[in-house]
Amino acid sequence: MNGASLLDFARGPAFEAALAIMTFGIAWRLAGIFALARSVDRSEPRSRFSGLRGLRIILSRSWPRAEFRERVLEWDIVGYLFHIGYAVAFLGYAPHILLIRNLFGLRWPGLPGGIIAFAAGVSAASLLALLGHRLSSPVLRQLSNFDDYFTWLVTFAPLVTGLMAYYGIGADFQLMLGLHIFSADILFVWLPFGKLMHVILLVFSRGTTGAAYGRRGAPV
Amino acid sequence: MSATTIDTATGPGKLEPSAGRQGTFPDAKRLEYAMTSFLQDLGATAALYLEACVHCGQCAEACHYYVQTGDPKYTPIWKIEPLKKAYKRHVGPFSFFYRLLGLKKAVTLAELESWQELIYDSCTMCGRCALVCPMGIDIPSLVLAARHGMQAAGLVPRDLWEPTDRANREGSPLGATKEVLKERIAWVSDEHSVEIPLDRDRADVLVTVSSVEIMKYPTSLAAIAKVMRHVGASWTFRSDGYEATNFGLLAGDRKGQRDATMRLINAAIAVNAKVVILPECGHAYQALRWVGANVYGKALPFRVLHISEFLAQEIRAGRLTLKTDPRSMTFHDPCQVARRGGVSGAPREIFRALGADLREMSRTPGLNWCCGGGGGVITVHHADPLRYRVFHLKMQQVEETGADVLVSSCSNCRLTFDDGQAHFHWDKTAQSLLEIVANNLAETH
């Protein structure tokens, strides 16, 4: 398979299949969770809207409480660098915006290539640091399984191949671009099956706890 | 992220392991019972939590056991690994593939037994981990589900099972039977010259008590009686529903928990109580205030108040007036009352009414370190050396406030403080908030 045919495959049938699998997988996983029994809490709420007030956790939990910062903030910041860099590179790059416009009809102005490359570079460097942390921290090593490392790989691959295509490193442009898009296809396929699903579950898990704690008037 | 290590494991902790098995049923049955119980608790909420974990490890940084030892096995989410494994293999959306491809092995009895120390000895279900988790996972609720499974399998540490079993048989985990209660009430009533009503047919307020108070801190019975006399309440203790501690909840014994809760509910209904006051006991508040209605199957026909909520309510209403106690005080928020129960404002209203110089331990009320004795851990004696290590953290937090007086509103915390004080030859004795109030009642009547 040469560069041109890989590119055609990656942005043609592979991309369509990836989106289909991702959509079906997300629906399957959510249905598998929410079809399970849910108990009704009959306790008298602390106050009438206290459960709703607890939902502020959905935003507030994005930054650690003062009591925990000393022990967790530095790696939270690295995590944020990775996520923000990734989001800027994904949502700010003109060809990506074109793709999104074709799919959903939404559009916004793109950022200069240099900024995209910088964001992707920061994101990739942060990911490498996070992998190093996972491998060196006894707590993280103990918790980690195939999902953690495979997810890291499929997240890292589009960044690196994107940067290589942008700077013309490695293979010819068409092949690099084909590899870049194909790696993104794999990312989309994997999303519902591993920890990447947190992008969707985050709101539900925080919201569930927020509503329960809020009902009690407990700090969230 | 360095873990503080201190050499405190040389105290009088009893090092011989307790037998951790109950019943005589075969191993295969134990495992089957554990799995059945796990599956019963693995509903949508638990599933969501187990699916959402991203293995970030931050929960370890909020856990006093990990912070004090640096041992990764104390990572909170790791403590429920068998439950998670059972979920992935039998319940989750991809469980079919996990089984088909052998990606998740079945949980074994040996695993459950080796996890016993993580599920019971080294988790007070204090809930700090739930407040650091970026995904908002309520890990203590998963630990409770794990305990349900362990109890069903007969795998509760002996030291915790014994008082649980005793509570199931006698109505009280520490031998505070009806007869003992009656004797104590007669003695305390005489000693403190205060009437303590028992078994009235009708009362607006049913007051309950912790067996720790009956057996170790009986002065608290006089304290509540003096407060109730001061505010002019219609109240009673009931010998058919006095014990608010709930060891069934701690051990993971669903039936024992339900029976203990129903005794209180039935007693309250029998006297037509409008309010049930729970004593200075953390998990008692959880068991009735937040779980009681779910055990009962419908809304409770009375209000449930922690004693600190009642005191604050009476201060607000102008019925409870206090003399000034201007000493510098720090307040240990009991985890199950404040962090997990939502009562942190009431004690502070009381300190304001006392005119005390309150020095907080944490920026957010309720986020202080756990004393290390909750969740039944104080009963598990082979875990004493570990408990002293986490208590050291609590002790440091208290000392950093510079306050002269340490106050709490949980008799189990108080017991843990007394034990830790003796172990470390510390000069601080934990005081009861209720007793401070009772000692400072203004002479208005």
- Optimal mutation site among A46, A134, A143, interface B, most CBs of chain B within 10 A: A143
Q: What ipTM was assigned to the predicted interfaces of this complex?
A: 0.96
Contact yes or no for B49 and A205 at CB 8 A: yes
| Class in CATH terms, B317-439 | alpha beta
Residue from B273, B278, B353, B356 nearest B318 by CA: B353
Q: What is the topology classification, in CATH, of domain B161-314? A: Glutathione S-transferase Yfyf (Class Pi); Chain A, domain 2 (1.20.1050)
Nearest to B93 among A28, A137, A140 (CB): A28
Residue from B418, B388, B362 nearest B6 by CA: B388
Can you give the pLDDT at residue B444? 65
Residue from B363, B252, B227 nearest B305 by CA: B227
Contact yes or no for A205 and B48 at CB 8 A: yes
Question: At B329, which helix (H) or strand (E)?
Answer: strand B328-332
Q: Searching chain B, which residue's CA lies closest to the CA of residue A208?
A: B45
Domain residue ranges in chain B: 27-155, 161-314, 317-439
Block mean pLDDT (10 aa), chain A, length 220: 89 97 98 96 93 94 96 97 98 96 94 96 98 98 98 98 93 93 98 98 97 96
Q: Which pair of structure tokens corresponds to residue B322?
A: 């206090």
Residue B203 in contact with residue B236, Cβ under 8 Å? yes
Q: Which pair of structure tokens corresponds to residue A97?
A: 């915006």
User: Residue with structure tokens 């540490």?
Assistant: B157
Contact yes or no for B52 and A138 at CB 8 A: no
Please report, as a single letter, which amino acid is at residue B339: R
The CA-CA-CA angle for residues B275, B278, B282, to 5°, reads 145
Nearest to B341 among A34, A218, A220 (CB): A218
CA A207 – CA A54 distance, rounded (Å):
8
- B263-288 per-residue burial string, b: 16 or more CB within 10 A, e: under 16: bbbebbebbebebbbbbbbbbbbbbb
| Helix spans in A138-172 (H) | 138-143, 146-167
Residues 120-179 of chain A whose Cβ lies under 8 A from any Cβ of chain B: 137-145, 147-148
Query: What's the gap in Å between the CA of A25 and the closest CA on chain B?
Result: 10
- Give the strands of the sheet with B328-332, arranged side by side: B357-358, B328-332, B405-408, B430-432
Please report, as a single letter, which amino acid is at residue B2: S
- B119-154 per-residue burial string, b: 16 or more CB within 10 A, e: under 16: bbbbbbbbbbbbbbbbbbbbbbbbbbbbbbbbbbbb
Phi, psi (5° rounding) for residue B342? 85, 10
Strands B275-278, B303-306: pairing is parallel
Give me the torsion for CA of A29, A32, A36, A40, rounded to 10°.
30
Q: What is the pLDDT of residues B298-343, one digit of tens each?
A: 999 999 999 999 999 999 999 999 999 999 999 999 999 999 999 9
Residue from B338, B358, B361 nearest B349 by CA: B358
Strands B303-306, B430-432: pairing is unpaired
Three-state SS string across B152-214, please?
Answer: HCCCCCHHHHHHHHHHHHHCCCCCCCHHHHHHHHHHHHHHHCCCCCECCCCCCEEECECHHHH
Chain A neighbors of B132, CB-CB under 8 A: 64-65, 68, 72
Query: What's the gap in Å between the CA of A158 and the closest CA on chain B?
Result: 21
Question: At B304, which helix (H) or strand (E)?
Answer: strand B303-306
Phi, psi (5° rounding) for residue B276? -110, 125
Contact yes or no for A46 and B342 at CB 8 A: yes
- A144-170 per-residue burial string, b: 16 or more CB within 10 A, e: under 16: beebbeebbebbbbbbbbbbbbbeeee
Q: What is the topology classification, in CATH, of domain B27-155? A: Fumarate Reductase Iron-sulfur Protein; Chain B, domain 2 (1.10.1060)
CB contact A112 to B (< 8 Å):
no
Contact yes or no for A198 and B54 at CB 8 A: yes
Burial of B75 (0-12, 13-18, 19+ CB in 10 A): buried
Contact yes or no for A139 and B48 at CB 8 A: no
CA B232 – CA B68 distance, rounded (Å):
48
- Optimal mutation site among B38, B41, B45, interface A, most CBs of chain A within 10 A: B45
Domains B161-314 and B317-439 in one fold = no
Domain residue ranges in chain A: 3-34+45-62+70-216
Nearest to B135 among A64, A72, A206 (CB): A206
Query: What's the gap in Å between the CA of A105 and the closest CA on chain B?
Result: 31
Residue from A75, A78, A89, A83 nearest A159 by CA: A89
Residue from A137, A158, A136, A134 nearest A146 by CA: A134
Along the 445 residues of chain B, how does pLDDT read in single tens digits? 333 333 333 333 333 444 689 988 899 999 999 999 999 999 999 999 999 999 999 999 999 999 999 999 999 999 999 999 999 999 999 999 999 999 999 999 999 999 999 999 999 999 999 999 999 999 999 999 999 999 999 999 999 999 999 999 999 999 999 999 999 999 999 999 999 999 999 999 999 999 999 999 999 999 999 999 999 999 999 999 999 999 999 999 999 999 999 999 999 999 999 999 999 999 999 999 999 999 999 999 999 999 999 999 999 999 999 999 999 999 999 999 999 999 999 999 999 999 999 999 988 888 999 999 999 999 999 999 999 999 999 999 999 999 999 999 999 999 999 999 999 999 999 999 999 999 999 986 5
CA A104 – CA A117 distance, rounded (Å):
25
Q: What is the topology classification, in CATH, of domain A3-34+45-62+70-216? A: Fumarate Reductase Cytochrome B subunit (1.20.950)
Can you give the pLDDT at residue B186? 97
Chain B neighbors of A67, CB-CB under 8 A: 131, 362-364, 367
- Give the strands of the sheet with B235-236, arranged side by side: B235-236, B205-207, B275-278, B303-306
